[in-house]
Structure 1
Amino acid sequence: MEAALIAVLGTLLGSVVTHWFQARATMRGAELARAEQLRQERIASYSAYAGALLDYRRSQNDRWFRAHEQPGSPAAEAARFASYEARIAARQALTRVHLVCDVPRLRQLADAAFEFANCLHEAVDEEDRDRRSKRCSDALSAFVAAAAPSVQ
């Protein structure tokens, strides 16, 4: 009788310990899967933002050139409207960065790069435009450099 009782208690203890280890392994697996999914989402968001901002910067440069070559021309107006579309895409990508990024410094760098692109068309001459374009490019590079360690 004692042997049977010991066997039942041993089996019960084994079941409890097994359940505990399986629960821990399941939770750990879920945490790893969530962390990997977030990493992938950050990679996608950060790279989409970089691409959208590069396109916005290009469209702002194009807008500036068209406005200074032939102010009010159909080409200048088309470039202006194209820059609006590029701004919408860049703003959407920036919003996505804000949603997946939990590092305030990265958000600030992303915001700064957007603002540099946003003001690019206000340059008074080509030297000013070059300077603004470079600042935008440098700000985007700073964002990418700061974001890279969080997704590697």
Structure 2
Amino acid sequence: MDVALIAVMGTLLGVVATHWFQGRATERTAALARNEQLRQERIETYSAFAGAVVDYRHSQNDRWFRAFMKPGSKEAEESRHASYRQRTAARQALFRVQLVCDDPETRRLAEAAFVESHCMHDAVDEADRARRSERAKESLATFIAAAAPGVR
């Protein structure tokens, strides 16, 4: 009887230990899957934001050149409206960054990249526009550098 009791106790102990280890392994697997999904979402979101900001900066440059070359022309007006559409797309991408990014500094850098691109159409001359464009590029590069470790 003692042998049977020991065997039953050993079996129960083995079942409990197996259950505990399997539960821990399942939790680790689920946590890894969540982390990988968040990493993939951040890569997609940050890439989309960078693309939207580049497109916005390009449309701002186009807007400035068209307004500078032919102020008040139909092309200048069309370019202005196109820049509004790009601003909307960039702002939407910024909102997505703010939703998936848990680092306040990276969110601040994303906002700075958006703002730098926004200010380009106010340039007073070609040199000012070029400086603003360069600042916008640098600001986006700073955001990407800050965001990169979060997606590795």
- Fold shared by both chains (TM-score > 0.5): yes
Name 2:44's counterpart in structure 1. Answer: 44
- Correspondence 1:29 to 2:29: yes
What is the percent sequence identity of the aligned residues? 66
Tell me how far 1:149 sits from its aligned partner: 1.3
How big is the shift at 1:147? 1.0
User: Which amino acid in 1 is paired with 2:2?
Assistant: E
Q: For residue 69 of structure 1, report the CA deviation from its aligned partner.
A: 0.9
Q: Which structure 2 segments of 5+ residues have no match? A: none
Structure 2 residue aligned with 1:2: 2
Paired AA for residue 20 in structure 2: W
Say yes or no: does 1:110 pair with 2:110.
Answer: yes
Q: What is the TM-score with the length of structure 1 in the denominator? A: 0.98
| Secondary structure of 1:124's aligned partner | coil
Q: How much does 1:124 deviate?
A: 0.8
Q: Which runs of 5+ in 1 are unaligned?
A: none
Structure-to-structure mapping, 1:9-24, within 5 angstroms: 9-24=9-24
Equivalents in 1 of 2:122, 2:29: separation in Å? 52
Partner of 1:149: 149
2:133 & 2:96 partners in 1: Cα distance? 23
Q: What amino acid is the match of 1:92? A: Q
Residue 24 of structure 1, CA deviation: 0.1
Runs (4 or more) in structure 1 with deviation over 4 Å come to: none
Amino acid in the other structure paired with 2:25: A
Question: With structure 2 as the length reference, what TM-score do the two structures score?
Answer: 0.98
Give the secondary structure class of the aligned counterpart of 2:38. Answer: helix
**Residues 89-128 of structure 1 aligned to structure 2 (within 5 Å):** 89-128=89-128
How much does 1:92 deviate? 0.6
CA–CA distance in 1 between the matches of 2:102 and 2:146? 13
2: distance between equivalents of 1:104 and 1:130?
29
CA shift digits 1:9-29 (9 cap, x unpaired) = 111110000000000000000
